[in-house]
Amino acid sequence: MSNEILCDGFIPRQYDIFVGLDVDKTSISVTFTNHQETIRSMRIPYSSDHLIHYVHRHFPGQKVAFAYEAGPTGYGLHDQLTAEGYPCLVVAASMIPTAPGQRVKTNRLDSQKISECLRGGQLKSIHVPSSSYRQLRHLTQLRDTFVRQATANKCRIKALLLLEGLPFPEAPVGSQWSKRVIAELKQLDCSGAVRFKLDRLLLSLEFSQKQAVETTREIRRFCRQDPEIHPCMEYLISIPGIGGIVASHLLARIGDWRQIRNVRQLSAFLGLVPTEHSTGEVVQRGAITRSGDGRLRNKLIQSAWSAIRQDPELTEFYRRVGQKHPRDRAAKKAIVAVARKLTTRIYAVLHEQRPYVMRPKSH
The alpha helices in the chain, defined as continuous H runs, are: 48-58, 76-83, 107-119, 131-164, 179-186, 192-225, 229-237, 244-254, 263-269, 294-310, 312-323, 327-352
Adjacent-strand bridge partners of 22: 29
CA distances, 192 to each of 79, 195, 199, 202, 232 (Å)? 56, 5, 11, 15, 53
Residue 165, SS3?
coil
* Domain definitions of the chain by residue range: 6-126, 131-226, 230-352
State yes or no: pLDDT of 213 exceeds 70.
yes
Strands 64-69 and 285-288: unpaired
Residue range 191-198: average pLDDT? 95
- Mean pLDDT for 258-269 is 90
Residue 121 has pLDDT above 90, yes or no: yes
User: Of 170 and 9, which is predicted with more confidence?
Assistant: 170
Alpha-carbon distance 181 to 201, whole Å? 14
pLDDT tens figures, 278-287: 777 777 888 8
pLDDT for residue 174 is more than 70: yes
Average pLDDT along the chain: 92
- Residue 67, pLDDT score: 96
Is a pLDDT exceeding 50 seen at residue 182? yes
pLDDT by residue (tens digit) across 325-343? 999 999 999 999 999 999 9
The CATH classification of domain 6-126, taken from the options 3.30.420.10, 3.10.129.10, 2.30.42.10, 3.30.70.1560: 3.30.420.10
Neighbours of 202 (CB within 10 A): 15
Q: What's the average model confidence in pLDDT over 270-280? A: 84
* Average pLDDT score over residue span 139-148: 97
- Could you tell me which of 137, 336, 342, 355 has the C-alpha nearest to residue 249? 137
Residue type, 350: L
Predicted local distance difference test score (pLDDT) of residue 4: 54
What values do phi and psi take at 266, rounded to 5? -65, -45
The pLDDT of residue 8 is 55
Instruction: Report the share of the chain in percent with pLDDT over 70.
Output: 97
Q: What is the pLDDT of residue 2?
A: 44
H or E, element range at 89: strand 88-91
What are all long-range contacts of 151-154, with beta carbons under 8 Å and residues at least 24 apart? 153/201, 153/204, 153/205, 153/208, 154/205
